A = this chain, B = another copy of it.
Amino acid sequence: MAHPVNDHALDVIFRYARSQNGFLGKDVPEILVRAVYDLTKMGPTSANCSPARFVFVHTPAGKQRLLALMSEGNRAKTEAAPWTVIIAHDLAFQEKIPKLFPHAPGAKDWFNNNRDETAFRNAALQGAYLMIAARAIGLDCGPMSGFDMAGVNREFFDTGEGEMKHWRANFICNIGYGDKTKIFDRSPRLEFDEACRIL
């Protein structure tokens, strides 16, 4: 049993955190992005399979490749954000299981029949950890599903070389310092009894 976190932490990671629609022109140093990953990687995945791969797009050249593939409504904010991360999953994630789950290297074969689903689900979990980690260290996020997924896979992954050719986009998230003037009003959430059952 852990001592609960303080109220400030709950505010920062859940209660007051908001998806950002604009970003201030303030850079985020690479060391903070690495700190986000170092927290993200600790989150649980199935047999520690850790299938998420993260492409942190930061350079103007990288941004140009991505911007053309974003939905129109997502372009300006993606251009403004200092970092845009493509959360991907590695369809060849099983190759790393002997390293990641050393006490049971045969775990590699546990996913032979549900490889793609396992990659997709666990990379989505890790994408959530990434957003929580970024918020926890004071950054703002703006996750997006509005982009040309086939185009992103073609441009960044399946025609590429080396390990990246097995990666596939899952979702995309801007990271930076949000422009509070561009946040929408908080939308309603489902009540416990609408989304939950107790059996």
Q: Which residues of A contact B (CB under 8 A)?
A: 1-6, 8-17, 19, 30, 33-34, 37-44, 46, 48, 50, 52-59, 61-62, 65, 96, 99-103, 118, 120-122, 124-129, 131-133, 135-141, 143, 145, 164, 170-171, 177-178, 184-185, 187-190, 192, 194-199
Instruction: Say how far A18's CB is from chain B's closest CB, in angstroms.
Output: 8
- In the complex, chain B residues whose CB is within 8 Å of the CB of A120: 120-121, 124
- Given contacts A44-B141, A120-B120, A125-B125, whether A199 and B9 have CB atoms under 8 Å apart is no
Chain B contacts for A126, CB-based, 8 A:
128
Partner of A5, one of B3, B12, B188: B12
Question: 17 extra interchain contacts, Cβ-Cβ under 8 A, other than A6-B6, A9-B136, A41-B190?
Answer: A1-B177, A4-B137, A10-B136, A10-B137, A34-B192, A37-B192, A42-B189, A48-B187, A53-B197, A54-B196, A56-B196, A100-B188, A102-B187, A103-B187, A121-B124, A124-B128, A126-B128
A37 touching B99, Cβ below 8 Å: no
Q: Decide: A188 and B102 in contact? CB cutoff 8 A.
A: yes
- Tell me whether A37 and B195 are in contact (CB under 8 A): yes
Contacts of A33 in B (CB 8 A): 198
A-B contact pairs, 28 of them (CB 8 A): A1-B139, A3-B138, A5-B9, A5-B12, A15-B42, A41-B189, A43-B128, A43-B131, A44-B141, A46-B145, A46-B171, A48-B189, A50-B195, A53-B196, A54-B195, A54-B197, A58-B199, A61-B199, A96-B194, A99-B188, A103-B185, A121-B124, A121-B170, A122-B124, A124-B125, A124-B128, A125-B125, A125-B127
Give complex CA distance A10, B42 in Å: 11
Task: Give CA–CA (A17, B30) in the complex, Å.
Answer: 26
